[in-house]
A and B are shown apart, each in its own frame.
Chain A
Amino acid sequence: MADSDIKALTGGLELPDFESTAFTTPPPLAEAKVAIVTSASLHHPDQDDFSPMDTGYRVLDGGRRDYMCGHWSPNFDATGIALDLNTVFPIDRLDELAADGTIGSVSDIHLSYAGNQFDLSAVRMDSGPAGAKFLRDHEVDVALFTPV
């Protein structure tokens, strides 16, 4: 078992194609509200776990630190996030960047999706736009995307 071998297993995956790349110019970082969007299937213990083909998202409370990883894949090291949430979800680091003025603020809410998706159409057409609108409604300017 080796990380490089597991990564190699994904070599044959067909990657989605985008005809053009959307591009939004953010406000200055020191004025921006930043949220994390992770594909680690994180959820709070009182929220529903992710089902095997779950294309939805969970809203994470940035004031809490009780997160569970509901990702279904066995193909990642789990001890990193077990030791330190910030290895996957760098919420404490963002709080520090807000405190020193590097970023404007950290959003109170963040989003989590399940990265173990084979059919991306629902995420592209439904839960992705819904999550983006949710963050826009909370005046988020910048989203930091983290995998697992």
Chain B
Amino acid sequence: MSVLAHVFEEAGIATVALGSIGAHIQGTAPPRGLWCDFPLGRPLGKPNDPEFQHRVLAHALGLLGSSEPVVEKFADAITDDGTDTMVCELPPRHDPSLHPAVDEANGLRPAYDRAVAKLGNRTGAGRTVAADDIGAAVLAFTKIAEGTPWKEAGIPGIPARVAQDIRGYYETAALALAEHAPAAWAGARWFFTSTEAGRAIVDARQAMADVGEKHPIWFYIIPGDM
């Protein structure tokens, strides 16, 4: 972002850049920057909190009054210590003939549809895998986890993007089931630790690493610190 701010400013547009990582925004020194020490993915801080978002914008837009380049830090910080996890009930087993992860994914479909109807679909399925095909995509990861080479597992796209759609499908469904705004990363932690599909993806990634697949193919399937 800060790089683009330099470019746009050069072209005659005044800019203000928000940054979530202090070292980055201070290191790239945009013409006007506001370091907001908030979790990645939430540069305005708090979803569904217009008052807080307006405070961030007031500080940011106020930097336009500076007569010289300036980088400041927003007064409030929002931290994630890695412990907050969504509490979200999963559907009971419905079809014993299906792999448990596929049955689970199918069972979440009504919640997913409710969430999309209420919130829209910004991060759910549909970038590579349609909601109707999430079960098949989950099954592909279970096969990889069990030792099938990823190119033979029926995975319907680049593994990282397919995993992203599955995670998005689950996190979107969870928003309907929990009906509260989760803390940052609480949805991801729930997905990767509490769901059959999430655990299958983690195991599949490990299986791909273990057999020596190229690093970019498996590394970006899940967050880099896992």
Contact = CB atoms under 8 A, between A and B. Distances in A.
Contacts of B21: 7, 10
Contact of B31 (A23, A39, A103, A123): A23
B1 to A, nearest CB: 4
Contacts, number: 279
B159 to A, nearest CB: 11
A66 interface: yes
Contacts of A47: none
B203 to A, nearest CB: 16
A16 B3 contact: yes
Contacts of A25: 14, 67
Interface string A128-147: 11011101100011111111
Contacts of A136: 11-13
A85 interface: yes
A74 interface: yes
B14 A143 contact: yes
Nearest to A81: B122
Contact of B184 (A3, A73, A123, A129): A3
Contacts of B8: 37, 128, 131-132, 135, 143, 145
20 contacts: A1-B225, A3-B82, A5-B225, A10-B21, A24-B9, A25-B67, A32-B64, A39-B4, A69-B122, A74-B221, A77-B40, A81-B41, A82-B172, A87-B42, A128-B3, A132-B12, A132-B13, A145-B30, A146-B1, A147-B18
Contacts of A87: 41-47, 53
B202 to A, nearest CB: 11
B95 interface: no
A124 B223 contact: no
Contacts of B60: 144
Interface of A: 1-11, 13, 15-16, 18, 21-26, 29, 32, 34, 37, 39, 45, 49, 52, 65-70, 72-88, 90, 92-94, 96-97, 102-103, 113, 115, 120, 123-124, 128-129, 131-133, 135-136, 140-148
B7 A129 contact: yes
A39 B120 contact: no
A95 to B, nearest CB: 11
A84 B48 CA distance: 6
B87 interface: no
B170 to A, nearest CB: 11
A16 B50 contact: no
A3 B39 contact: yes
Given A22-B31, A115-B1, 12 more contacts: A21-B31, A37-B8, A69-B122, A79-B171, A87-B43, A90-B44, A90-B57, A93-B57, A96-B50, A123-B7, A132-B8, A132-B10
A132 B4 CA distance: 9
Contacts of B42: 77, 80-81, 87-88
